Chain A
Amino acid sequence: MLKKKKINVAVTGLNAIDSPGPGVPVIRALRDSKLFDVRIIGLSYESLEPGIYMHDIVDKTYQIPLPSAGKATLMERLKYINSIEKLDVIIPNFDAELFNFIKLVDILKKELKINVFVPTLEQFEERHKSNLPEFGKKHKIKIPKSKLIFNIKEIPALRSEFTYPVVVKGKFYDASIAYSPEQVATYFNKISAKWGLPIIIQEFLHGQEVNVTAIGDGKGNTIGAVPMRKQYITDKGKAWSGISIDDKNLMNMTRKLIKSTKWRGGMELEIIKTSEGDYYLIEINPRFPAWVYLAVGCGQNHPEALVRLALGQKVEPFKKYDIGKLFVRYSWDMIVSLDEFEKISTVGEL
């Protein structure tokens, strides 16, 4: 039997909450690996991220500074963590932290010998929600009509360009459907207070939302892709259960996009399939989704492939996946001692 290679992997996104981060499913995928024997180092931002307390999932957790602290502060913290843990790979799982990690890719490799396989800065920037219309034109992909607004005074004029309802989106997160200018104003205030400006107004498309979790090798090859349809959606719009589907058009679109962008790393595509059978890209998330473990269940271990790519190994593309596999999420109350909570809150390690 093949002896598993021991590696130390740091993972962020331990917030397995109602709007879950991808950290815990990414770790589960790595624990299922037939190639690697992983020691998992959790990197957390808050003391109540559930992954911190899942000791069969995460071996040790360190708090890291919020993305707003900048890359130098993050680098200092990673130097400290690496001095103890000797990290081989870091897998960042939040959109908001990616900018700092992208900026640190070379220096982490050179100074600390840590491998990070993330999109390039250009890939990361051009797929921003606010840049999506240009992205669509460049890569010949249909995008719903969108407009950026910076001021509440621009709302009345939207009526001449859009038919209600419209989708009101924040530049990083959040999206709400507004049926009137008054509702647009309400969401404008709510979302801009949290995520800043601009606000994106997007045409509302009637159809079915389908999603793809995928991984590109940075040379234009799709290493793996699994499409899913949400079966049960929470009031935050998150999939609480979903099913893998067989949609060749969706797979063609994914491969075309990865080839055209030479995408590097994990990604999630959010797509609306209209009743006419047209596919509109509504969002690209530059990291694995929280449902990435479904891909593992379907026979494609994307996080394992990402680690192999990060380590510079040649990875052959997956050729198939199981269709009709479901994931059903659940919540679970853990009992945590005050000592543990105190330790992560004060010392920043557990």
Chain B
Amino acid sequence: MKLKKNLALSDSGFVFDPSTGDSFSTNPIGLEIIRMLKEGKTANDIKSQIIKTYMTDDVSFEKDYYDFVNMLSKHNLVEGVEKEKN
């Protein structure tokens, strides 16, 4: 899954989508995941990183991760949803 390239992220967890004008707030872990997604890391890379840093297990991570990713997709923050038109 690829996030939109032009998403603007701030250290406070403010996410701005310049193509729609939508803005969102996320918590520090959400921000960390979004940053990793922007860097092109896979779900497995992200899982390893989160499990190494925080006290959580595979099952909890996957449940929360896919919830979060679905939310990103629902809010149209994922690339490839819209085609470029003339």
A interface with B by C-beta (< 8 Å): 208, 228-229, 231, 242-249, 252-253, 256, 277-279, 323-324
Interface of B, secondary structure class, is loop
The listed residue (A249, A252, A256, A324) touching B16 by CB distance below 8 A is A324
Which A residues touch B18, using CB under 8 A?
Answer: 245-246, 323-324
- Tell me if B20 and A277 are in contact (CB < 8 A): no
Stretch in B32-40, B46-54, B57-65, B78-86 touching the partner: B78-86
CB neighbours (8 Å) of B81 from chain A are 277
**Structural contact, A245 and B82, CB atoms closer than 8 A:** no
Question: Which residue on A lies nearest to B86, using beta carbons?
Answer: A252
Given contacts A246-B6, A324-B8, contact A229 B20 (CB under 8 A): yes
B85-A252 in contact (CB<8A) = yes
Q: How many residues of B contact A (CB 8 A)?
A: 13
Partner of A248, one of B8, B16, B21, B84: B84
CB-CB under 8 A from B83, the residues of chain A are 277
In the complex, which residue of chain B has the Cβ closest to the Cβ of A326? B21
**B-to-A contact residues, CB < 8 Å:** 6, 8, 16, 18-21, 81-86
Q: How far is the CA of A208 from the CA of B82 in the complex (A)?
A: 14
Taking a contact as CB atoms under 8 Å apart, the answer to whether B82 and A277 are in contact is: yes
Contact B19 A245 (CB under 8 A): yes
| Closest B residue by C-beta to A245 | B21
Beyond A228-B21, A245-B21: 8 further Cβ-contacts under 8 Å? A229-B20, A229-B21, A245-B20, A246-B19, A247-B19, A252-B86, A253-B85, A278-B85
Q: Which of B6, B8, B21, B85 contacts A249 (CB 8 A)?
A: B85
Check B86–A256 contact: CB distance below 8 A. Answer: yes
Least Cβ distance of A122 to chain B in Å? 25
Shortest Cβ distance from residue A142 to the other chain B in the assembled complex, whole angstroms: 10
Distance in angstroms from B63 CB to nearest chain A CB is 27
Name the CB-closest residue of B to A208.
Answer: B20
- Cα A279 to Cα B82 with chains together (Å): 12
